[in-house]
Structure 1
Amino acid sequence: MKITKVETFAVPPRWLLCRIETDEGIVGWGEPVVEGRAATVRTAVGELAELLIGKDPSRVEDHWQLMTKGSFYRGGPVLSSAVAGLDQALWDIAGKSLGVPVHVLLGGAVRDRVRAYSWVGGDDPAGITDAVHAQVEAGFTAVKMNACGPMNRLATVRDIDDVTARAAAAREALGPDRDFAVDFHGRFHAANARKVLPHLAPFNPLFAEEPLLPDYPHLLEGLTAASPVPIATGERLYSRTDVLPALQAGVAVLQPDLSHAGGISEVRRIASLAETFDTLIAPHCPLGPVSLAASLQVAFTTPNFLIQEQSIGIHYNDGAEVLDYVVDTEVFRFHQGHLALPTAPGLGIEVDEAAVRAADGRTPDWHNPVWRHEDGSFAEW
């Protein structure tokens, strides 16, 4: 079997999908994207495709090594995300060619179902209670929200009150048997995070995500040691070498993204590395159907897995949904906040190719907002 074609599709709301075709008619799908840089990643996928055309798709690891190390300049979000999508598609072909789900090729499932959480916003605190109640009624046992909107360099009393009010509202709506996580989104400086985190502790969040920008790994150990709330990070870390300082700093939860961190091949290794630090894995995935399907294949085979992010019904899905691009939506049906073990070959989903082709280029490239402080200086989004 040989690879004959690699295609990419930019589809709403902000996703990029790739398709690898073989001469035996087996097709694999992946999701290589950096949110806000889809066009750039699309170019990178085209460049990497030159390494794959005419090659045997079953040599997944050899392809991964060549795509990641065959160039003098390596790594970073664009190249790692391009590799990630192609790697997902190669695993999809491998499973389909053998008639088994990818999780079988990874050693088999270690659990029967995967717990997932749903987003409830948080940039604007209005409606948090209603949003949480809606997810509880839908059967979810966990939600995640942003800690704040734009944040001052050092929190004022009002800032702290606003952050804790969100947490208090979520905890009251959830009760003692469900969880919420708080995403700081890299909007806090180190001193600010240290100042605010103790105020969240009485509400027992599952974790506080990205309280520091990934630019400051040398400050992470001090924060994790001082924080009464478990610290999570990892969506902007793209390899084992990237995540190692976070693990050494003692983070409780690592959040590699299957569409950013080198795909199934590398995230599988990241999870194993995290296990040696007694760190849990909660894959980052505010993305589309292929990324979620790939995440589940890893989640079901990872002993130190905690919970899965997913974007079905997320606030930014305007004009398109995860379920719009799959033929059989049953694989993504939630049962009491959990997803069942996929049984179909490959990534476990059938992509609706007609829908993907029809959606390609339908909307302009998405770019994240740019925020500014009251004095006009740049603020983290």
Structure 2
Amino acid sequence: MKIQTAEVVVCSPGRNFVTLVLTTDDGLVGVGDATVNGRELAVASYLRDHVAPLLIGRDAHAIEDTWQYLYRGVYWRRGPITMAAIAAVDTALWDLKGQAAGLPLYQLLGGRSRTGIRAYGHAQGQSVGALVDSVHALQEQGFTAVRVQVSTPGLGPGYGVPEQAQIGLYEPARSGAAPAEELWDAGPYLRNMPKVFDSLRSAFGPELSILHDVHHRLTPIQAARLGKSLEEYDPFWLEDLTPAENQQAFRLIRQHTTVPLATGEIFNTVFDYLTLFSEQLIDYARSAVTHAGGITGLKRILELASIHQIKSAIHGPTDISPIGLGAALHLDAAIHNFGIQEFMQHVDSTYDVFDVGYTFEHGQFQPGERPGHGVRFDIEAAKRFPYRQAYLPVSRLLDGTVHDW
């Protein structure tokens, strides 16, 4: 089974997506996701101009060899653009292999390790009352785990809270020549969050799993203070407390709190996690199939995590296409150290282009039984949704200093 064509499609049915479409000489079509939010055209060019020509005529079954060829052979390794491009190829090849075998992808990964894949949804509000309403709405959809984000008084909507909130949906990208800018001040945030968690536990009791994302905004000692202040409310986890590139920073956080910690959604390879894993400084690894070298790359990361009793929590925002989510669900079903799956819900127009085989009910996913990863891409439908320039926001401190968003 040889690769005959490799086409790169950029479209925007709700969000910008970069999709690789591989066709074999026996007529099978496999697809992979290469979306890098706000830098979509960079990875599209990388794929179209540098990777696609290398794929023509290659054995579509040779997944490991192709992965190493694109990783080691290029010399300039790692980074989000390179690893997203490799991920798209890898995911499309696994899709093709599953179709050729007539089996869903999870069967090729060793079969099921569980009967369902628990997911968490996104709740948000500009006030605690609005946040409570958002959580209630997600519970009605079957979620038993919810990520909660709320505005800090005096700072505007803030991370994870849009100005016009749709329950269960959050569209952070902004069309146009420049990103939106958000204000950040750690002081009022740190004073406010214990009050928020106290209100949530009062409203929902101890059974609801409550997650919170700080999005890299605290220093290590501020992160330690937050974890310590929230322990009594039993968070499921605190996510991205501080920029995790400084892996040693998590030693300080661990010294001061027993709240479970999650990080890694911007990580691309296993090397980003070595200290975090070996010293058990986190509890959940957050990389995505789309950004960590595909099924092959992420499976390596999670296998190393399992040795250190660290669980998976694969990144699932709306700037990862249903292809990336669909592939992740098959990995979720197969690995032993599954923790939870993020589920940020796409808008309806996304499903005009992506036909999914997975299902969600009662707070859990099923990956589906279609051969391959089960997500199909409609190239003709994609033409109705041309690329639109869009960026994630930028964060600034009150004095104007650019901060981590």
Q: What's the TM-score, normalizing by structure 2?
A: 0.86
Superposition pairs of residues 225-240 of structure 1, within 5 angstroms: 225-240=255-270
Q: Which runs of 5+ in 1 are unaligned?
A: none
- SS of the counterpart of 2:230? helix
Give 1:349 shift: 2.5
What CA deviation, in whole Å up to 9, does each residue of 1:187-207 have, x standing for no partner?
Answer: 112121112221221221111
Alignment RMSD, CA only?
1.9
The reply to whether residue 268 of structure 1 matches residue 272 of structure 2 is no
Superposition pairs of residues 285-324 of structure 1, within 5 angstroms: 285-286=316-317, 287-313=320-346, 320-321=349-350, 323-324=351-352
- SS of the counterpart of 1:135? helix
Residue 200 of structure 1 corresponds to which residue in structure 2? 230
The reply to whether residue 183 of structure 1 matches residue 186 of structure 2 is no
Give 1:371 shift: 2.1
Give 1:162 shift: 2.2
The reply to whether residue 10 of structure 1 matches residue 10 of structure 2 is yes
CA contact under 8 A between 1:128 and 1:169: conserved in structure 2? Answer: no
Residue 257 of structure 1 corresponds to which residue in structure 2? 288
The reply to whether residue 337 of structure 1 matches residue 370 of structure 2 is no
CA contact under 8 A between 1:147 and 1:182: conserved in structure 2? Answer: no
Residue 64 of structure 2 corresponds to which residue in structure 1? 61
Q: Which runs of 5+ in 2 are unaligned?
A: 152-157, 159-182
CA distance in 2, matches of 1:123, 1:273: 39
Give 1:363 shift: 3.9
CA contact under 8 A between 2:125 and 2:134: conserved in structure 1? Answer: no
Give 1:10 shift: 2.0
Give 1:124 shift: 6.7
Q: Name the amino acid aligned to 2:235.
A: P
Aligned residues: 369
Give 1:173 shift: 4.0
Residue 92 of structure 1 corresponds to which residue in structure 2? 95
CA distance in 2, matches of 1:267, 1:51: 23
CA distance in 2, matches of 1:126, 1:43: 45
Q: What's the TM-score, normalizing by structure 1?
A: 0.91
- SS of the counterpart of 1:109? coil
The reply to whether residue 374 of structure 1 matches residue 402 of structure 2 is no
Q: Name the amino acid aligned to 2:41.
A: A
2:145 to 142, 145, 160: 142
Give 1:145 shift: 2.8
Give 1:358 shift: 2.8
1:222 to 252, 258, 274: 252
Q: Structure 1 pair 172/92, CA: closer, same or farther in 2 (3 Å)?
A: farther
Q: Name the amino acid aligned to 2:307.
A: T
Residue 180 of structure 2 corresponds to which residue in structure 1? none
CA contact under 8 A between 2:329 and 2:366: conserved in structure 1? Answer: no
CA distance in 2, matches of 1:167, 1:14: 34
Q: Name the amino acid aligned to 2:118.
A: R
- SS of the counterpart of 2:330? helix
What CA deviation, in whole Å up to 9, does each residue of 1:158-216 have, x standing for no partner?
Answer: 32232223323433443322212111110112121112221221221111111111231
CA contact under 8 A between 1:214 and 1:236: conserved in structure 2? Answer: no
Q: Equivalent pairs: percent with the same residue? A: 31
CA distance in 2, matches of 1:83, 1:214: 23
Residue 325 of structure 1 corresponds to which residue in structure 2? 353
Superposition pairs of residues 87-126 of structure 1, within 5 angstroms: 87-121=90-124
CA contact under 8 A between 1:167 and 1:203: conserved in structure 2? Answer: yes
Q: Structure 1 pair 75/142, CA: closer, same or farther in 2 (3 Å)?
A: same
Q: Structure 1 pair 349/173, CA: closer, same or farther in 2 (3 Å)?
A: farther
The reply to whether residue 279 of structure 1 matches residue 310 of structure 2 is yes
1:358 to 371, 384, 387: 384
Q: Structure 1 pair 369/342, CA: closer, same or farther in 2 (3 Å)?
A: same
CA distance in 1, matches of 2:201, 2:10: 38
